[in-house]
């Protein structure tokens, strides 16, 4: 990871940290955490939070923990934990031995709750869920005290212990913090801190039938880990007073400080686990790692690189107000990285057969072609040439306009890295009139050299040798949604882009790609960036995903 990736300019969060450090807070330490709930795969929004938390830790020589915030048994699983670990690591971050689970703190959190009861700061409330809602009041009206608010401490302790023992049904009682039912901030109107939920937990099994609420568990988990700056998204702004309320009552010494930033919203994308789960469960995509998904695993399979994602996260910065980032900025970062680092290769997506009439039938020769035009250190490869070739169907026109610098009746064109060839005749399908084959001649003298007679041949096209190339399937992706802000639509599913996937079979890749390893990325000359599909690509049938086109085709549409 380069310096520029972690510390471009200061943002308001780093300003706060600088100030805390300057007044000697937290003994000069900076400790952050990335706290996902293992109820789905992480997406590009989470990547922003990962980059921010780990980036800050690195910049201030502090630490960043990976904590699974697994306090709600419904929907959490080991599959998700494993995916999160893999994805954060793949993004390029390391938490050393600081992998934690909020569920490991259940006993500790229980005793914190007992401590609150003993201080008279919490009570067991036996109103139903509906009644609790009713008593809570509204934005304009204060709430009403629960009739159980003044339950004696001994009775609260006894009831809470019995809740834990499993004596009561789900919803029969809850433990609530005793704060202020008239607070202008609804979050502070005696929030629930424990509820009964007879659900097995993927880690603690049937040990618990009561589970702590997020607002209670999160801040105390932060405190238990010695987190100094608890960075979260804006929707928790109203919860900050509650965060502080718990921590001030229960934690001595250094206390974590919550700082909110704007979550990432990306155009033509949904970034909510609930919606992503819906796409997966309704089979509207082919799983969490579908290359059209904004999940880290989907982006990896598509061919995005960790560096491109990190650069994007630096480029968007951290703001205090919600906004919608143009997805083309992410694509731009991917393109920039691959332009630098992806070797070049040739692949014909929609082949047209070309016979070089004057090239000896049994001859083959290898052209040595550079892997990167600006980077000799990336080496070169051998590209075999022979009598029968494939070129791109749309690199030939029977009656081309003047400015068409490709092959046409009477025209010449250079085959990238090889000879100049000249059109002789075409063969057409009798029924459809479609051109099925071209006959050309090659100019032997133009092997890596301009024509001796000084004639100009402007066009350069890509090609493969029919006898040597590898059959391939190429998957072209477009945006998954046709609406700029699908999350804001009433039914986001109705805005899926029907043309988000086009599968091209019968493509031909140059011979060197037969050894391409899963997830290797290439620039296919003139076509874009492509990645070997890690699931479906086989030695005898290569499968490539288009990572991103060479240029932003949507920019034209928008203008
Ligand atoms: P969602 O509700 O959108 O599905 P989440 O907040 O429930 O996401 P968590 O697992 O709780 O997902 O998130 C882990 C961390 O990632 C939190 O600190 C959260 O604030 C942060 N995060 C989640 N979504 C985004 C986003 N779009 N942009 C930036 N940070 C995010
Ligand atoms: Mg959340």
pLDDT digits (tens, 9 = 90+) for 324-333: 999 999 999 9
Residues of the chain with CATH 2.40.240.10: 273-343+472-558, 347-462
Cα–Cα distance for residue pair 460/204, rounded to 1 Å = 64
For ligand 1, whether the C-beta of 33 sits within 6 Å is no
Task: Supply the CATH classification number for the domain 273-343+472-558.
Answer: 2.40.240.10
Is the confidence at residue 558, as pLDDT, over 60? no
331 Cβ partners below 8 Å, 6+ apart? 548, 552
- What is the whole-number distance in angstroms between the Cα of residue 262 and the centre of ligand 2? 14
Query: What letter does residue 288 receive in the DSSP assignment?
Result: T
Q: What is the mean pLDDT of residues 57-77?
A: 97
Task: Please tell me the residue having the least CA distance from ligand 1 atom 29.
Answer: 263
Is the confidence at residue 132, as pLDDT, over 70? yes
pLDDT digits (tens, 9 = 90+) for 354-388: 999 999 999 999 999 999 999 999 999 999 999 99
- pLDDT at residue 93, rounded to an integer: 98
- What is the whole-number distance in angstroms between the Cα of residue 312 and the centre of ligand 1? 17
Residues of the chain with CATH 3.40.50.620: 3-261
Band (516; pLDDT cuts 50, 70, 90): very high
3 Cβ partners below 8 Å, 6+ apart? none
For ligand 1, whether the C-beta of 45 sits within 6 Å is yes
pLDDT digits (tens, 9 = 90+) for 262-296: 999 999 999 999 999 999 999 999 999 999 999 99
CB-count exposure of residue 429 (10 Å: 0-12, 13-18, 19+): exposed
Task: Please tell me the residue having the least CA distance from ligand 1 atom 18.
Answer: 232
Is the confidence at residue 118, as pLDDT, over 90? yes
Residues marked active site are found at 37, 263, 273
- pLDDT at residue 300, rounded to an integer: 98
Q: What is the mean pLDDT of residues 138-162?
A: 97
Query: Among 32, 33, 46, which is best to mutate for testing ligand 1, by the most ligand atoms less than 8 A from CB?
Result: 46
Q: Which fold has domain 3-261?
A: Rossmann fold (3.40.50)
Ligand found nearest the CA of 272: 1
Within the chain, how many helices (H) and strands (E) appear? 14, 29
What is the chain's alpha carbon radius of gyration, rounded to the nearest angstrom? 31
Query: What letter does residue 496 receive in the DSSP assignment?
Result: B
Alpha-carbon distances of 51 from 45, 54, 267, 314, 337, rounded to whole Å: 10, 5, 20, 8, 17
- What is the whole-number distance in angstroms between the Cα of residue 37 and the centre of ligand 2? 7
- pLDDT at residue 3, rounded to an integer: 45
**Chosen CATH of 347-462 out of 2.40.240.10, 3.20.20.120, 2.40.110.10, 3.30.450.20:** 2.40.240.10
Q: What is the mean pLDDT of residues 328-346?
A: 98
Q: What is the mean pLDDT of residues 494-501?
A: 98
Band (50; pLDDT cuts 50, 70, 90): very high
- What is the whole-number distance in angstroms between the Cα of residue 422 and the centre of ligand 1? 58
- pLDDT at residue 286, rounded to an integer: 97
Is the confidence at residue 559, as pLDDT, over 60? no
pLDDT digits (tens, 9 = 90+) for 83-106: 999 999 999 999 999 999 999 999
- Ligand 1 atom closest to the Cα of residue 275 is 4
- pLDDT at residue 1, rounded to an integer: 53
Q: What is the mean pLDDT of residues 227-235?
A: 97
- pLDDT at residue 227, rounded to an integer: 98
Query: Pick from 343, 309, 379, 370: which is nearest to 521 by CA?
Result: 343
pTM of the model: 0.95
Q: Is the dihedral of CA 344, 349, 350, 351 positive or negative?
A: positive
Instruction: Specify whether the CB–CB gap between 266 and 309 falls below 8 A.
Output: no
Q: Are strands 122-125 and 174-177 parallel, antiparallel or unpaired?
A: antiparallel
Q: How far separated are the first and last CA of the chain, in Å rounded?
A: 36
Instruction: Specify whether the CB–CB gap between 327 and 268 falls below 8 A.
Output: yes
Torsions phi, psi for 453 (to 5 deg): -85, 5
Task: Please tell me the residue having the least CA distance from ligand 1 atom 9.
Answer: 36
Cα–Cα distance for residue pair 206/199, rounded to 1 Å = 7
- pLDDT at residue 556, rounded to an integer: 52
Alpha-carbon distances of 385 from 181, 391, 406, 419, rounded to whole Å: 81, 12, 19, 10
Is the confidence at residue 515, as pLDDT, over 60? yes
Q: Which residues pair with 351 in a beta bridge?
A: 392
User: Mean of the per-residue pLDDT values for the chain?
Assistant: 96
pLDDT digits (tens, 9 = 90+) for 1-29: 554 555 557 899 999 999 999 999 999 99
Is the confidence at residue 396, as pLDDT, over 50? yes
- What is the whole-number distance in angstroms between the Cα of residue 440 and the centre of ligand 1? 59
- pLDDT at residue 448, rounded to an integer: 85
Q: Are strands 407-408 and 396-397 parallel, antiparallel or unpaired?
A: parallel
- pLDDT at residue 387, rounded to an integer: 98
Number of Cβ within 10 Å of residue 141's Cβ equals 9
pLDDT digits (tens, 9 = 90+) for 397-418: 999 999 999 999 999 999 999 9
């Amino acid at each position: 990871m380069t310096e520029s990736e972690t510390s471009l300019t200061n943002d308001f969060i780093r300003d706060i940290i600088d100030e805390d450090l300057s007044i000697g807070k937290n003994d000069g330490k900076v400790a952050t955490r990335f706290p996902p709930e293992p109820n789905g795969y992480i997406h590009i929004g989470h990547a922003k939070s990962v980059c921010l938390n780990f980036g800050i830790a690195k910049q201030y020589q502090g630490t960043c923990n990976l904590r699974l915030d697994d306090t709600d048994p419904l929907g959490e699983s080991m599959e998700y934990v494993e995916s999160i670990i893999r994805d954060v690591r793949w993004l390029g971050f390391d938490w050393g031995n600081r992998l934690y689970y909020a569920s490991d703190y259940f006993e500790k959190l229980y005793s914190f709750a007992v401590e609150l009861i003993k201080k008279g700061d919490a009570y067991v409330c036996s109103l139903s869920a509906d009644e609790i809602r009713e008593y809570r009041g509204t934005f304009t009206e204060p709430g009403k005290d629960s009739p159980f608010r003044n339950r004696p401490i001994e009775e609260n302790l006894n009831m809470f212990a019995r809740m834990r023992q499993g004596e009561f049904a789900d919803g029969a009682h809850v433990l609530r913090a005793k704060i202020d039912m008239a607070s202008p901030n609804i979050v502070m109107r005696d929030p629930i801190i424990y509820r009964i939920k007879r659900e097995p937990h993927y880690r603690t099994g049937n040990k618990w039938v009561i589970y702590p609420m997020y607002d209670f568990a999160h801040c105390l988990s932060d405190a238990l880990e010695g987190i100094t700056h608890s960075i979260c998204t804006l929707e928790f702004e109203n919860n900050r007073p509650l965060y502080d309320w718990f921590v001030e009552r229960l934690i001595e010494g250094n206390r974590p400080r919550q700082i909110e930033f704007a979550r990432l919203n990306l155009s033509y994308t949904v970034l909510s686990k609930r919606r992503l789960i819906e796409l997966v469960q309704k089979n509207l995509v082919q799983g969490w790692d579908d290359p059209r998904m904004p999940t880290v695993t989907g982006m990896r399979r598509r061919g995005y690189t960790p560096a491109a994602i990190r650069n994007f996260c630096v480029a968007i910065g951290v703001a205090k107000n919600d906004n919608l980032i143009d997805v083309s900025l992410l694509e731009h970062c991917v393109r920039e990285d691959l332009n630098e680092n992806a070797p070049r290769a040739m692949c014909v997506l929609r082949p047209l057969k070309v016979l070089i009439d004057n090239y000896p039938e049994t001859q083959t020769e290898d052209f040595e072609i550079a892997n990167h035009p600006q980077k000799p250190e990336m080496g070169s490869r051998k590209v075999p040439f022979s009598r029968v070739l494939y070129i791109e169907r749309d690199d030939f026109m029977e009656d081309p306009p003047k400015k068409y610098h490709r092959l046409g009746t009477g025209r010449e064109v250079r085959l990238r890295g090889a000879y100049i060839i000249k059109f002789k005749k075409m063969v057409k399908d009798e029924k459809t009139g479609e051109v099925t084959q071209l006959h050309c001649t090659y100019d032997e003298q133009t092997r890596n050299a301009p024509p001796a007679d000084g004639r100009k041949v402007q066009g350069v096209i890509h090609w493969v040798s029919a006898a040597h190339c590898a059959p391939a399937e190429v998957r072209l992706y477009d945006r998954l949604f046709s609406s700029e802000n699908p999350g804001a639509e009433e039914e986001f599913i109705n805005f899926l882009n029907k043309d988000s996937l086009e599968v091209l079979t019968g493509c031909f890749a140059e011979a060197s790609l037969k050894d391409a390893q899963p997830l290797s990325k290439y620039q296919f000359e003139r076509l874009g960036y492509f990645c070997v599909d890690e699931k479906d690509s086989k030695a005898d049938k290569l499968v490539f995903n288009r990572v991103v086109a060479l240029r932003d085709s949507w920019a034209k549409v928008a203008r």
